[in-house]
Amino acid sequence: MRIIGLFCWWAMVAAIAQAQDTFTLTLLHRDLASAMGNKPVGNSPLVLREQGSEKVYKATTDMKGQAVLTLPVGRNFWLSLDCEHCETMEPIEVRCADAQAGMRMTFGFQEYSAAYYRKAHENKLAEEARQKAEEEARAKQEAELARRAAEEEAAWEREEAAEEAARQARIESFSKSNVLFYLVLSDEVLVHKVAVYADDTKKKSYGDTGGYYYQGTACMASLTNNPEGAAHNHHPKAGTYKYYALSDDGKYEWRGTYTISEGKTTAVALRLSDAVRRKK
């Protein structure tokens, strides 16, 4: 009984000493996001960190936005919300070092709720996801455009290479046994193209005379540098051959023969004055 009595006596002394060294602080949380910032925030997790110490005091507000804590006198604190996504909140300084033992104090403050910070965090994640999706879509679109551009460039290069190869082949063919047909026009009549064939059956084509010349004979140097302006055909053997030519409007035709010399180009002028006017 003495031991129990002694323990109770020391417990009473400790409680009295503690009461003499503490005061009561009521925290009043008002929602900064509400109209006028006066709406109480219930169930708000609060944490007080003692300045100059590692001691932490926690409390949760009631439906009136109030939380009551018993704190040691002579201390100042940092107040913040105790939630996962509230780290962006600036801590609020609670200066109560002048509080006397047994005193009751109320500290009201305006701050967003923990739900607000959680929602802000969710919105941030959603925005980051949206931006990431847009960046991925933009990157995919750019990659597709780049792929198409590369394909178009490759196709253009192939076409250019084929045209150059054909041009070189035509130029090289001039050093072989070859016949070159070119159109000579008059001032009165303009014929844009003449198709040249081996004969009037038109089974074997020598091509079209895409270019033409006005009066007189054509310059061979011009034809050599610009063979696209004439129809031509390569002959592996020297000899005499027939030809048949027809204007693109079907009004004029030519028939004749030409002689090929070994390793030389023979130029045949299709003069409009020598053409036969076809009957309708």
* Residue 144 DSSP SS3: helix
pLDDT at 107 over 80: yes
pTM of the predicted structure, to 2 decimals: 0.44
Check whether 224 has a pLDDT greater than 60: no
Q: Is the pLDDT of residue 213 over 60?
A: no
Sheet containing 45-50: which strands, arranged edge to edge? 56-60, 45-50, 76-81, 92-95
Phi, psi of 259, rounded to the nearest 5 degrees: -115, 130
In this structure, what token pair is assigned to residue 179? 């016949």
- 254 and 243 Cβ atoms separated by less than 8 Å: yes
**CA atoms of 181 and 186, how far apart (whole Å):** 17
Is residue 232 very low, low, confident or very high in pLDDT (cuts 50, 70, 90)?
A: low
Residue given tokens 């000493």 in the structure block: 17
Q: Which amino acid is it at 256?
A: G
Q: What was the pLDDT predicted at 215?
A: 41
Q: In this predicted structure, what is the pLDDT of residue 17? A: 41
* pLDDT at res. 76: 96
48 near 105, Cβ under 8 Å? no
Pick the closest to residue 223 from 181, 191, 190, 274 (CA basis): 181
Structure tokens at 222: 């011009």
- Mean pLDDT for all residues in the chain: 80
Q: How far apart are CA 252 and CA 185, in angstroms?
A: 12
Q: How far is Cα 246 from Cα 276, in angstroms, rounded to an integer? A: 10
Burial of 233 (0-12, 13-18, 19+ CB in 10 A): buried
56-102 pLDDT tens trace: 999 999 999 999 999 999 999 999 999 888 888 899 999 999 999 99
Q: Find the mean pLDDT for residues 22-46.
A: 92
H-helix or E-strand spanning residue 26: strand 22-31
pLDDT digits (tens, 9 = 90+) for 148-195: 999 999 999 999 999 888 877 766 655 566 777 777 776 666 677 788
Q: What is the pLDDT of residue 18?
A: 47
Cα–Cα nearest to 48, from 39, 35, 57, 59? 57
State the Cα–Cα distance between residues 191 and 182, nearest whole angstrom: 12
How much is the average pLDDT of 34-51? 91
